[in-house]
Amino acid sequence: MNEIPPKEPLIETIIEPATQIDPNYNFAYLNEQTKKMIRRALLKAVAIPGYQVPFAGREMPMPYGWGTGGVQITASILTPDDVLKVIDQGADDTTNAVSIRKFFQRTAGIATTLNTAAATVIQTRHRIPEQKLQEGQILVYQVPIPEPLRFLEPRETETRKMHAFEDYGLMHVKLYEDISQHGHIATTYAYPVMVENHYVMDPSPIPKFDNPKMNNNPALQLFGAGREKRIYAIPPYTKVVSLDFEDHPFEIQAWDQPCEICGAEDSFLDEVIMDDQGTRMFVCSDSDYCQSRSEVQS
C-alpha cells in the first residue's frame, strides 16, 4: 500500500528526516489490535467505493472535530518509511496541521514534508492539494459529518436503506431548494458526489472547486469520521461525479483575479483581510503550491 516514489535529489532536501520516536508509545500511537480493526474497515471501504463502513473509533488525545477520524486512519496505515504531509485548509502551517504533524513525529518518528510530491501519506482537512497526486500516494480526509443525507433525513435507519436501495431523490431536493432560493446551486462545500454510479457520498467539507480532482484520481483517497465512527474510501481511478441538474450543471468557483503572491489562475483562492479599511487580497489556499510557484519565479 505504501510504495514510496523514487527519491530525487531535490526531494531529499525538502523532507524533514525521521526524528527520535517517543519510546512510551506504540508506533503511531494506536495499539496493533486497533490498527488491525481499522485496516479491516479500510479494506471493506476500498472494496465498496463510497460506502460508509462503521468502525470502533477510539478516543484520541484531541477533541472531536480536530480530525480524530483522519488521525486514526493515518495511524493505521503509516509505516516507518512513510513521509507524512498534513494540511489544514490547504496550508501546512495552521494549528491543526502543525499539531497533527508533531503528533506523528513524536509517536511514529517518521519523516515529514511540506511538499505534496514528496509525501506518501497526506492527511487533509478541507482541501485537496493543487498539485496532481500520483499512484502510490494516499490522501486521508478528516470528515465531520459522513452522511450526505443527514440534514434532509435525520433517521440513520432510513438513510442506510436509501443508500442500499439507491433511493436518492432526496439529495436532489437539496439542490432544487438551492436553485429555488438562490437562482443557482448555492452549495459551495461538502458538495454531494456519486461514486462509481452507486453510492452518494459527502466529500467532507472540501470546496466544490476540488470535487473534479476526486474523479479518476491515481491516489487512494480515505475518509475518516471520528465522532460518527465511519470510514469510507475512493480507490484509485474511480469515477466520481458531482450531482446536478441538466439545466443547472455543476460548476466550480472562479475568481476575477489571480493569486496576488504567485499569480496562479488555476488554484483555489482565500480572501485575506489586510486592514480595517477594507483592503483585501486573494492568495492561494494551498501554501505549498503557492510557495513552490513563487520560488520558481524568483
Partner 1 sequence: MNQPLFSVTNLSKKFGKTIACDDISFDLWPGEILGIVGESGSGKTTLLRSIAGLIKPDQATISYQGKNNKLLNIDQMDEPKLRHLQRTEWAFVHQHPRDGLRMNVSAGANIGERLMANGWRHYDDIRKEAIKWLEAVEIDAKRIDDLPRTFSGGMQQRLQIARNLVTNPRLIFMDEPTGGLDVSVQARLLDLLRGLVRDLGLSAIIVTHDLAVARLLSNRLMVMKDGQVIEHGLTDQVLEDPQAAYSQLLVSSILQV
User: What is the C-alpha R_g of the chain?
Assistant: 19
User: Does residue number 4 form part of the binding site for partner 1 (CB under 8 A)?
Assistant: no
Q: Which regions of the chain does DSSP assign to beta strands (E)?
A: 15-16, 53-54, 83-88, 111-113, 121-125, 138-142, 193-195, 199-201, 220-225, 230-234, 240-242, 269-273, 280-284
State the distance between the two ends of the chain, measured CA to CA, in whole angstroms: 37
Q: Which is nearer to partner 1, 180 or 279 (CB)?
A: 180
181 contributes a contact to partner 1 by CB under 8 A: yes
Is the Cβ of residue 40 or residue 248 nearer to partner 1 in the bound state? 248
CB of 149 to partner 1, least distance (A): 12
284 belongs to the catalytic site: yes
Of the residues 50, 57, 67, 69, only one is catalytic, namely 50
Which listed residue (8, 81, 93, 167) binds partner 1 by CB under 8 A?
167
> Quick check: is 70 catalytic?
no
25 binds partner 1 (CB under 8 A): no
Q: Rule CB under 8 A: choose which of 44, 172, 227, 239 binds partner 1.
A: 172
3-state secondary structure labels for all residues of 238-270 = CCEEECCECCECCCCCCCCCCCCCCCCCCCCEE
DSSP string, 104-142: HHHHH--EEES-TTT-SEEEEES---SSPP-TT-EEEEE
- 90 labelled catalytic: no
Single out the catalytic residue among 67, 90, 226, 262.
262
**Should residue 297 be labelled a site residue for partner 1 when binding is judged by CB under 8 A?**
no
Long-range contacts of 22-26 (CB under 8 A, 24+ apart): 22/106, 22/107, 22/109, 25/106, 25/107, 26/107
Contact letters (x/-) for partner 1, 114-153, by CB under 8 A? --------------------------------------x-
Per-residue contact track with partner 1, 214 to 253, x per CB under 8 A? ------------------------------xxxxx-----
170 binds partner 1 (CB under 8 A): yes
How many beta carbons lie within 10 A of that of residue 227, not counting itself?
Answer: 15
What amino acid is encoded at 115 in this protein? N
Write out the catalytic residue numbers. Answer: 50, 259, 262, 284, 290
What residues make contact with partner 1 under the rule CB under 8 A?
152, 161, 164-165, 167-170, 172-174, 176-177, 179-181, 244-248
